[in-house]
Amino acid sequence: MIPLIDIASLFASDSQIRRETDRAIMAAAQDSGFMVVTGLGAEGGADPDCRSELLRFFTLPQQAKTPLSRRKFAPDNPNVYRGYFPVQEGQATCKEGIDIGPDLLDPQRRKADDPLREATPLPEERDLPGWRASAADYFAAMEATGAALMASIARGLGLPESTFAPYFEQGISTLRLLRYPPRLLGSAELRDPELSVEDRGERRLLAGKAHVDSGFVTLLQQHGVSGLQAQLPDGSWHDVPPQEGGLVVNFGKLLERWTGGRIRATPHRILANEAERFSIPFFYEPAAEARIAPLPLAQAERFEPFVYGDHLWSAMTRFIEFQGLENLRPAQAA
C-alpha cells in the first residue's frame, strides 16, 4: 500500500502529532519508499488551479518552444542542461517537457562557467503573461516542502533536525513539466517487450520505463490522468493515482546511499494512456558544491565522499544524449 500522510504538523514546532508524522514518513520511506502527502499548509502548490497555471507552458506553439530547447535539439542554443525537450518518437519514454532550475527564483543562483547552473531559457513574458511568477512561487513552495520533509527524515533517523539544511541551501533543484501525448492502446508496439508490460493480465503500453530517481527527494503532481505505478519490495506494481490536494513523494538513489540504505529508492514506471497526461515532478537537490559523506548512522555502509555537482555531471555525461559535453564542466572537488 502507498500510505497517505498529512504533513501539516511538519510546518510547526515540535508536538506529539509531529512526532507521529515523523514516524509515519520514516516507516513509508523504509517500506514502500512512496507516499502521498497532504496538508501542504501556507506553502501550498497542490491545487488544480496552480497546476493548470504551470501547464499553460504546453499551450505555446512549437516556434516558441524551439528557442528554449536544449542544445541537443537545437544546435545553436547555448543551454545544455536546462530547457525544453521535444517528444522523441519510437522511444519507450514518450514525452515532451521543460527542466527549470532555481535561477527562475533567484538569478544569483546562476554561475556562468557551470552548466549545472546555466540560465534556464524561459518563455517570453508576452507569450505567457504571469507564468514565470507562478512557476517561481511553485518552485519556492516545493523547496519549502522538500526542506520540511528532510528535517522530518533527519529526526526519523535520530539525527539533529538541521542536519540536511546546509546542503540544500543554494540547491540546484529541478522543476520539470511533462506532457505525455495520447497513445493508441491497440498499436503494434504492444507486442514489443521493450515498449510494453503485463499489468493485471493485460498488455499495456509504457509511456515511461521503469527507473529509480537518481537524486534525493521527488515531489510530484499528476494532473487528473493516472499512469504512475510504483514497485513495492515484494516486486508487485501498484497504481499511484492522482490525489487532489496531494503530492506524491519518493526518494532517489543518492539519498538511499547517503542514509546507508535506510531510505528506499523505489522503482516506478508510467503506463500509456489514450488521454493526454501531464505530470509535474520536482527534484529537490543539494548545492553543486555540497560534499556528501556518510552520515553518523550505526551500521550504515561507508562510501567515498563525493561532491554533488561533480557526481551529477559525470553520471549525466555517461548518457548517450550528453556525450561530447564532458569537458564543459571541470570537476570542482579539491
Ligand X SMILES: O=C(O)CCC(=O)C(=O)O
List residues near ligand X by CB under 6 A: 176, 178, 208, 213, 220, 222, 228, 268, 270, 279, 281
Helical axes 16-30 vs 131-156, angle rounded to 10° = 90
Q: How far is the CB of 299 from ligand X (least distance, A)?
A: 30
User: Phi and psi of 196, rounded to 5°?
Assistant: -145, 165
Report the C-alpha gap between 299 and 176 in whole angstroms. Answer: 36
Binding mask 245-284 toward Fe ion (x if CB under 5 A, else -) reads: ----------------------------------------
Helix, coil or strand: residue 228: strand
- Binding partner selected for residue 220 from Fe ion, ligand X, none, CB under the kind-specific 5 to 8 Å limit: ligand X
Q: How far is the CB of 305 from ligand X (least distance, A)?
A: 26
Cα angle 263, 267, 272; round to 5: 145
Piece of 61-69, 89-97, 211-219, 283-291 that binds Fe ion (CB under 5 A): 211-219
Q: What percent of the chain is helix, strand and coil (3-state, nearest 5)?
A: 30, 20, 45
How far does the chain reach from its first CA to its final CA, in angstroms? 44
Q: What is the DSSP letter of 131?
A: H
User: Phi and psi of 197, rounded to 5°?
Assistant: -140, 165
User: Phi and psi of 57, rounded to 5°?
Assistant: -50, -40
Q: How far is the CB of 202 from ligand X (least distance, A)?
A: 20
Binding mask 17-56 toward Fe ion (x if CB under 5 A, else -) reads: ----------------------------------------
Is 213 among the residues that bind Fe ion (CB under 5 A)? yes
- Binding partner selected for residue 189 from Fe ion, ligand X, none, CB under the kind-specific 5 to 8 Å limit: none
Q: How far is the CB of 222 from ligand X (least distance, A)?
A: 6
- Binding partner selected for residue 177 from Fe ion, ligand X, none, CB under the kind-specific 5 to 8 Å limit: none
Residues at the interface with Fe ion (CB under 5 A): 213
